[in-house]
A and B are shown apart, each in its own frame.
Chain A
Amino acid sequence: MDKAQKDQHTRYQQMVKEATPQPNRWKNAAMAFITGGLICTIGQLLYNLFEIIEPSRLETTAVTQAAMIALGAVATGLGFYDWLAERGGMGAAVPVTGFSNTITAAAMEFKREGYILGMGAKMFVIAGPVLVYGILSGFVISLLRAVLSGSLF
């Protein structure tokens, strides 16, 4: 690419930047806060409910997580979750229900190509990177902690 072409590209990108409407960040942040807050409140309510049945903190956390994942999957299946995310943005994407949505949405989409090569193979097409790097960073941090504290547990 010669210099004249490069300048033209830079100039055009500036034009594009000026022509593109900016997102309303305050509104988006407020909506994300409300949406995320609502989802977490539902989670907390479920936690309190499960705590009555099973007082162990570890068990209750696990059951609450599972319930929220199921809830996210059902909301996706009903076509409600993308509606929510369109309005709530990251407030809907960050909680575990959003993670559940990425898997369910992909599973629904690729089911048409069959259960093995479609759904089975492509279910984690969006969630896959989250899992890979989530596990990797978990491992690295644990390793650092073990080295620094001199103990594995």
Chain B
Amino acid sequence: MTSKRLGLQTVVFQEAPRIIGCSTIAGPKEGDGNLGPYIDTLVDDPLMGQPTPEKAERMLLYQACQDALAKAALKEDDMQFFIGGDLLNQIISSSYCARDLGIPFLGIYGACSSIVEGLGLGALIVDGGYADSVLAATSSHYQTSERQFRYPIELNVQHKKSNQWTVTGAAAAVLSRTGAGPRITMATFGRVLDYGIKSPNDMGAAMAPAAADTLCRHFADTGTSPGDYDLILTGDLAAVGQKLFVQLVKEADYTLGSKHMDVGAVIYKPEQRSGAGGSGCVCSAIGILGYVVKEMHNGRFDRVLALATGALFSPVSNQQGDSIAGIAHAVVIEGGNL
């Protein structure tokens, strides 16, 4: 194989594409949370004045894309690909957003891992020389996810402590061969792992094995260890999932300690009644494109390993008794000389 590959699952970008512009947008609950200061745009009305939350979600996504393009000082025509993914059936948020953007569209589904899948694929395309600039984006919405995966919003359900709250918002990043910004230097694409978890109330538990697998794979492939990174970020394992993740990683003889942060576990404050924490595509996206990128500009982090996890199932598979599979993708983001 070429030198662009390391080990079994990791790719190395020789001309590491840069995140030259990125933007996050989210609702009031996220704004009140711990990561509120890292979100670029906060909206007061999660419905965005739209008649349905589905329409609102794609509007948030479109807005995030436009903001990211503006920050990169580029236009739609400068983008050769738009890679988008979301949680809704047939990824309608991304497709309708792509319709409005008019950029050649690659729709992806990696559940809540979409942003890292998008960044990884975008980096492959740019480093491969097939594009100069790629737009990668994702969205999620509490109300659209609740109705698709769970119950009507106003229904009398008492949430379990392991339940997670879907983050409302969107995030987008412009990846480019030239320009200034953090670089994506490596990506490890994960395998789908299923440890037999069946309850959609335990999504963190369903995703933790995949996260641990991809992380250990990454360390083995690259010969790195937790000490080589300033931060190891996971997307939305939340309180229960991250506990299991740390345990599984420890069994593989890696100690993460204070290097590890899970966005789902920290995005909301305890008094915000969100069960085990946040989830949804935008949860990890706010962590990566909000927290990590901003702190890199502040000089706090230089080398970050960002993992995003997804729970792969549908209400139909779940009702038919199938267990929930998990996936995790990882990218290495480096500040270097921004």
What residues make up the interface of A, taking CB atoms closer than 8 Å to B? 8-9, 12-13, 15-16, 19-23, 28, 76-77, 79, 81-82, 84-90, 92-93, 98, 101-102, 104-106, 108-110, 112, 126
Where chain B touches its partner, the secondary structure class is loop
Report chain A residues within 8 Å CB of B152. 105-106, 108-110, 126
Known: A15-B247, A23-B160. A82 touches B196 (CB 8 A): no
Q: Which size class do B's interface residues fall under?
A: 20 to 34
Cβ-defined contact, A105 with B153, below 8 A = yes
B162's partner among A9, A20, A98, A106 (CB-CB below 8 A) is: A20
- Shortest B300–chain A CB gap in Å is 30
- Write 28 A-B pairs (CB below 8 A) sorted by A numbering: A9-B195, A9-B196, A13-B195, A15-B247, A16-B244, A19-B240, A19-B244, A19-B247, A20-B205, A21-B162, A28-B158, A77-B154, A81-B154, A81-B156, A82-B153, A85-B158, A86-B273, A88-B158, A92-B156, A101-B154, A101-B155, A104-B154, A105-B151, A105-B152, A106-B155, A112-B51, A126-B151, A126-B152
Number of A-B residue pairs having CB atoms within 8 Å of each other in the complex: 88
Report chain B residues within 8 Å CB of A102. 155-156
Report chain A residues within 8 Å CB of B205. 16, 19-20
- Shortest A80–chain B CB gap in Å is 9
Report chain B residues within 8 Å CB of A86. 157-159, 273
**From B54, which residue of chain A is reached at the shortest CB distance?**
A112
Cβ-defined contact, B197 with A13, below 8 A = yes
- Shortest A122–chain B CB gap in Å is 9
* Binary flags per residue of B191-209, CB closer than 8 Å to A gives 1, else 0: 0000111000010010001
Cβ-defined contact, B161 with A89, below 8 A = no
Q: Is B243 an interface residue (CB 8 A)?
A: yes
In the A-B complex, the 9 residue pairs with the closest CB atoms: A85-B156, A109-B152, A9-B196, A105-B154, A105-B152, A89-B158, A105-B155, A21-B161, A16-B205
Q: Is B99 an interface residue (CB 8 A)?
A: no
Cβ-defined contact, A20 with B196, below 8 A = no
- Shortest A70–chain B CB gap in Å is 16
- Shortest B161–chain A CB gap in Å is 4
**From B323, which residue of chain A is reached at the shortest CB distance?**
A9
Known: A126-B151, A126-B155. A20 touches B195 (CB 8 A): no
Cβ-defined contact, B154 with A13, below 8 A = no
Output the residue of A19, A79, A92 with the most chain B CB within 10 A.
A19
Q: Is B52 an interface residue (CB 8 A)?
A: yes
**From B51, which residue of chain A is reached at the shortest CB distance?**
A112
**Cα distance A20–B247 when bound, in Å?**
13
* Binary flags per residue of B272-289, CB closer than 8 Å to A gives 1, else 0: 010000000000000000
**Cα distance A105–B153 when bound, in Å?**
7
- Shortest B297–chain A CB gap in Å is 35
**Cα distance A108–B152 when bound, in Å?**
8
- Shortest A2–chain B CB gap in Å is 13
Query: Besides the contacts A15-B244, A20-B161, A108-B153, what 20 more A-B pairs have beta carbons closer than 8 Å?
Result: A12-B196, A12-B197, A13-B195, A13-B196, A19-B205, A19-B244, A21-B240, A23-B160, A77-B154, A79-B154, A81-B156, A82-B154, A84-B156, A85-B157, A86-B157, A86-B158, A90-B158, A101-B156, A105-B151, A110-B152
Known: A82-B154, A85-B156, A92-B156. A12 touches B195 (CB 8 A): yes
Report chain A residues within 8 Å CB of B244. 15-16, 19
* Binary flags per residue of B202-234, CB closer than 8 Å to A gives 1, else 0: 100100010000000000000000000000000
- Shortest A49–chain B CB gap in Å is 26
Known: A8-B195, A112-B52. A20 touches B156 (CB 8 A): no
Known: A13-B196, A112-B51. A82 touches B156 (CB 8 A): yes
Report chain A residues within 8 Å CB of B156. 81-82, 84-85, 92-93, 98, 101-102, 105
Report chain A residues within 8 Å CB of B209. 12
Report chain A residues within 8 Å CB of B52. 112
- Shortest B120–chain A CB gap in Å is 27
